Amino acid sequence: MFKDIFRKTKYVTIKSGQMQNRTPSEVSMQGEVVGISKKELPDGLWVKCPKCGEVLFNKDIEENARVCTTCEHHFRISANARLALLVDENSFEEWDAELTTLDSLEFPGYEEKLIEAQEKSGMTEGILTGRARIEDIPFVVAINEASFMMGSMGSVVGEKIARAIERAIELRLPVVIFSTSGGARMQEGILSLYQMAKTSAALGKLAENRLLYISVLTDPTFGGVTASYASLGDIMISEPNALIGFTGPRVIKQTMRQELPKGAQTAEFNQEHGLIDLIVARTQMRSVLARLLRYHQEGAQYGATV
Amino acid sequence: MAQLFEFEKPIAELVVRIAEIQKFSADKGIDLSQEVATLEKKVALLKKEIYGNLEPWQKVQIARHSERPNFYDYAPLLFEDFTELKGDRLFADDRSVAGGIALFHGIVVTVIAQVKGKDTKENIKRNFGMPHPEGYRKAVRLMDQAEKFGRPILTFIDTPGAACDLGAEERGQGEAIARCLLAMSGYHVPVISTVIGEGGSGGALALGAGNVLLMLENSFYSVIAPESCASILWKDTTKAKEAAAALKFTAQDLLRLGVADELVRESQGGAHNNLNQTADELSQVISKYLIRLRSESPEVLREKRYEKLRTIGFFHETADINLTKDLT
Ligand SMILES: [Zn+2]
């Protein structure tokens, strides 16, 4: 199905009904939307930018990689839409789509939540993995889906990431992971927590094989995902203004009675504190990744026999 | 007297009654030893009944007991000696994480432990056992040293979670924990982790991805605190008891889920009731696994640690979306 998308158009059309639910940086860790109300937007034709307040023609921002044409605010984007923006046409081969969730703890309300998430996201779980090309350079890609239970990591997400990394080692390919996640998924308890260890250990194997890992943090990335695969990139990239941290701002405020300074936990804050290499606008992501992947292609290293 | 829980009150009441009868018997010179013996038997039965059937929430209370033994209580009982080493060489020394070199059953080991305080003053010093990034970076520094000198690593987990303040965010709390996980996955020495009290989320996991996970029988280890879970699920922190059951985080649950390898018996009613007895059990179990792991080659140790992590988690592997549960 993804291949069809690429043949048709460069950008995936996002249904109007979903517009209001996708305002980034206004979503709390539990996914409560506190952004613009539906009343302000009678139909899907227009969208109000939460940053600059400008009312924008929906079609215009879609043609601009869902980035505000006035202030460059990055609206949240689905995994499939991101993939379409990023990789060469018809180059994506999806892996492990048949892995689906097991409610092994029989956690209250989990099955209902999963069905809801599947309907909302059109995906079976919170991450897309596979192999693709950028400017003809092959690589392994994984992209979190924010609308699937806040991109949280349970057994399936952890397993898909670990398998993708292991296959990258077999195929001797670099790995790029786009994270957007509230963290480890509560509903799978300790099993979710250990996916952090699983994905980190797999990245250890990748590093041992001297293969590149680029981590791209997008809005929002928190908790167990920040504390595992998302922080272990050889190169750490973020989209502008993305919220990134370990503990969510609401929890810090509640438990520490500490008001975070303005701009705390943004990509820029993280870069200032030495945690991120590059802040890259979505419209530039493809070309920056192509350049970084090229630096690391087999044969590019000093001493390599060409 | 030690902090007493609601569920222990029937025991305490009987104990008080026995004392009253004994006093009455002594005062009046009447022999009531028969009655006392009967009641004492009843106390023993009641203890077995209550402590043998603790609910998850009751275990949480025991694991968080103000007199729950911490690492510094166990250290002199577990080790022939212990030399504490401090600092992450980057920013500070985090006092919620203790680390150093110890002699355990004649074997030189590296020890890393989270430490909660036992009173307010100590808790402030130790940030309630919630490590900052420098605590995790100290752990990595000392574990790297263990790898360099071929020493087994013993970690002890006891934290409500990683520190969650602005400083922790500025200094990269997520990165610090992730580096712990990455580092631990690469070592060629045995890594044995033990949850001695509270295992709070990613902050606990940072020290928990070893070859073997042991848990004291009244400890718990969870992705989220039961109070926070209740607040998300039911918008009501008072439902922590229900959340505790839903999260399946007791030592017994983790053993069943294949995350914990063995449970360590505590003294009746919790480790605080008999530190020596609990430490002795702990020492024996750790020793058993250490001997077992030391017989493996360095490469096998590392591979087996990876395989253990690789198998944690349950999912369906079919094309059709099916959410039925069939965990056995
Ligand atoms: Zn704008």
* pLDDT of A90 over the 80 cut: yes
| Confidence tier at B324 by pLDDT (50, 70, 90) | very low
Confirm if B131 and B203 have CB atoms less than 8 A apart.
yes
CATH of the domain at A127: 3.90.226.10
Q: What does DSSP assign to residue B126?
A: T
Give the integer Cα–Cα distance in Å for B178 and A227: 5
Average pLDDT value over all residues in chain B:
94
Does the residue A43 lie in any domain?
yes
A275 shares a domain with A169: yes
**What digits encode the pLDDT tens for the residues A173-198?**
999 999 999 999 999 999 999 999 99
A91 shares a domain with A10: no
| Confidence tier at A305 by pLDDT (50, 70, 90) | low
| Confidence tier at A259 by pLDDT (50, 70, 90) | confident
Is residue A278 less than 8 Å (CB to CB) from chain B?
Answer: no
What's residue B233's pLDDT?
Answer: 87
Assign residue B36 a region: left if phi > 0, alpha if psi is -120 to 50, beta otherwise? alpha
A213 shares a domain with A127: yes
- Residue B283 burial by CB count (10 A; 0-12/13-18/19+): exposed, middle or buried? middle
* Cα A35 to ligand 1 centre (Å): 14
A183 shares a domain with A241: yes
Q: What does DSSP assign to residue B237?
A: G
* pLDDT of A304 over the 90 cut: no
Q: HSE on the CB side for B285, CA within 13 Å?
A: 23
Interchain contact, B313 vs A195, CB within 8 Å: yes
Q: What does DSSP assign to residue B265?
A: P
Share of chain B above pLDDT 90, in %: 91
Mean pLDDT of B21-37: 91
* pLDDT of A87 over the 70 cut: yes
What's residue B243's pLDDT?
Answer: 96
Is residue B240 less than 8 Å (CB to CB) from chain A?
Answer: no
Is residue A46 less than 8 Å (CB to CB) from chain B?
Answer: no
CATH numeric code, B60-310: 3.90.226.10
What's residue A258's pLDDT?
Answer: 76
Query: Tokens 């009746």 identify what position?
Result: B268
Average pLDDT value over all residues in chain A:
86
Mean pLDDT of B43-66: 94
| Confidence tier at B327 by pLDDT (50, 70, 90) | very low
* Cα A121 to ligand 1 centre (Å): 25
Share of chain A above pLDDT 70, in %: 85
Mean pLDDT of A279-286: 96
Interchain contact, B172 vs A231, CB within 8 Å: yes
A132 shares a domain with A229: yes
**What digits encode the pLDDT tens for the residues B173-227?**
999 999 999 999 999 999 999 999 999 999 999 999 999 999 999 999 999 999 9
Q: How many CB pairs under 8 A join A and B?
A: 207
What's residue A43's pLDDT?
Answer: 59
- Highest mean predicted confidence (pLDDT) among A40-44, A138-142, A257-261, B28-32: A138-142
Does the residue A69 lie in any domain?
no
Interchain contact, A189 vs B249, CB within 8 Å: yes
Q: What does DSSP assign to residue B260?
A: -
| Confidence tier at A251 by pLDDT (50, 70, 90) | confident
Is residue A121 less than 8 Å (CB to CB) from chain B?
Answer: no
User: H helices then E strands: how many in chain B?
Assistant: 14, 9
- Nearest CA to A255 among B154, B72, B231, B283? B231
* pLDDT of A209 over the 50 cut: yes
Give the integer Cα–Cα distance in Å for B242 and A48: 41
Q: What are B140's two structure tokens?
A: 């990595």
* pLDDT of B261 over the 90 cut: yes
Q: What are A140's two structure tokens?
A: 């392994």
Nearest to B178 among A102, A198, A227 (CB): A227
The sign of the torsion formed by the CA atoms of B276, B280, B283, B286 equals negative
* pLDDT of A240 over the 50 cut: yes
Range of the domain at A170: 79-295
AA identity, residue A299: G
Residue B95 backbone phi and psi in degrees, to 5: -85, 5
Distance from the Cα of residue A79 to its chain's centroid: 7
Interchain contact, A201 vs B315, CB within 8 Å: no
Is residue B257 less than 8 Å (CB to CB) from chain A?
Answer: yes
Task: List CB contacts of B136: < 8 A, sequence separation 6 or more.
Answer: B97, B162, B176, B177, B179, B180, B206
Is residue B326 less than 8 Å (CB to CB) from chain A?
Answer: yes
Chain A residues close to B233, C-beta within 8 Å: 108-109
* pLDDT of A28 over the 50 cut: no
What's residue B237's pLDDT?
Answer: 84
3-state secondary structure string across chain A: CHHHHHHHCCCCCCCHHHHHHHCCCCECCCCCECCCCHHHCCCCCEEECCCCCCEEEHHHHHCCCCECCCCCCECCCCHHHHHHHHCCCCCCEECCCCEEECCCCCCCCHHHHHHHHHHHHCCCCCEEEEEEEECCEEEEEEEECCCCHHHCECHHHHHHHHHHHHHHHHHCCCEEEEEEECCECHHHHHHHHHHHHHHHHHHHHHHHCCCCEEEEEEEEECHHHHCCHHHCCCEEEECCCCEECCCCHHHHHHHHCCCCCCCCCEHHHHHHCCCCCEECCHHHHHHHHHHHHHHCCCCCCCCCCC
The nearest CA of chain B is from the CA of A46 a distance in Å of 33
The nearest CA of chain A is from the CA of B4 a distance in Å of 26
The sign of the torsion formed by the CA atoms of A247, A252, A258, A264 equals positive
What's residue B318's pLDDT?
Answer: 75
Give the integer Cα–Cα distance in Å for B179 and A230: 11
Is residue A163 less than 8 Å (CB to CB) from chain B?
Answer: no
Q: Which residues pair with A130 in a beta bridge?
A: A94, A141
The nearest CA of chain A is from the CA of B208 a distance in Å of 9
| Confidence tier at B326 by pLDDT (50, 70, 90) | very low
Q: How many domains does chain A have?
A: 2
Q: Of A103-107, A222-226, A250-254, B96-100, where does mean pLDDT reach its minimum? A: A250-254
- Nearest CA to B2 among B323, B282, B281, B267? B267
Question: Can you give the length of chain A in residues?
Answer: 306
Q: Of A26-40, A218-232, B138-152, B209-223, where does mean pLDDT reach its minimum? A: A26-40
Give the integer Cα–Cα distance in Å for A157 and A79: 13
What's residue B70's pLDDT?
Answer: 97
Give the integer Cα–Cα distance in Å for B157 and A118: 36
Residue B307 backbone phi and psi in degrees, to 5: -60, -35
Nearest to A228 among B172, B178, B310 (CB): B178
Does the residue A277 lie in any domain?
yes
* pLDDT of A36 over the 60 cut: no
Q: What are A89's two structure tokens?
A: 């046409």
A20 shares a domain with A149: no
Distance from the Cα of residue B3 to its chain's centroid: 19
Q: Which residues pair with B107 in a beta bridge?
A: B104
* pLDDT of B20 over the 60 cut: yes
Q: What angle do CA A213, B132, B70 make, to 5 degrees?
A: 120
What's residue A4's pLDDT?
Answer: 37
* pLDDT of A7 over the 50 cut: no
Chain A residues close to B228, C-beta within 8 Å: 251
What's residue A253's pLDDT?
Answer: 87
Chain A residues close to B310, C-beta within 8 Å: 162, 198, 201
Interchain contact, A188 vs B223, CB within 8 Å: yes
Chain B residues close to A159, C-beta within 8 Å: 313, 315
Confirm if A173 and A132 have CB atoms less than 8 A apart.
no
* pLDDT of B250 over the 50 cut: yes
Nearest to A104 among B175, B246, B325 (CB): B325
What's residue B4's pLDDT?
Answer: 86
* pLDDT of A16 over the 90 cut: no
* Cα A237 to ligand 1 centre (Å): 22
Q: HSE on the CB side for B115, CA within 13 Å?
A: 24
Interchain contact, A246 vs B168, CB within 8 Å: yes
The nearest alpha carbon in chain B to A107 belongs to: B246
Interchain contact, B327 vs A102, CB within 8 Å: yes
A32 shares a domain with A122: no
Distance between the two ends of chain A, CA-based, in angstroms?
A: 39
Q: Of A46-50, A175-179, B57-61, B244-248, where does mean pLDDT reach its minimum? A: A46-50
Which positions 163-222 of B are in contact with A (Cβ < 8 Å)?
Answer: 164-166, 168-175, 177-179, 181-182, 184-186, 201-202, 205-206, 208-209, 221-222
Does the residue A273 lie in any domain?
yes
Strand blocks (E) in B44-115: 81-84, 97-104, 107-114
Q: What are A282's two structure tokens?
A: 């979505």
Mean pLDDT of B150-165: 97
* pLDDT of A17 over the 60 cut: no
Does the residue A289 lie in any domain?
yes
- How far apart, in Å, are the Cα atoms of A188 and each of A110, A228, A288, B232? 9, 17, 36, 15
What's residue A9's pLDDT?
Answer: 30
**Structural domain boundaries in chain B:** 6-53, 60-310
* pLDDT of A39 over the 90 cut: no
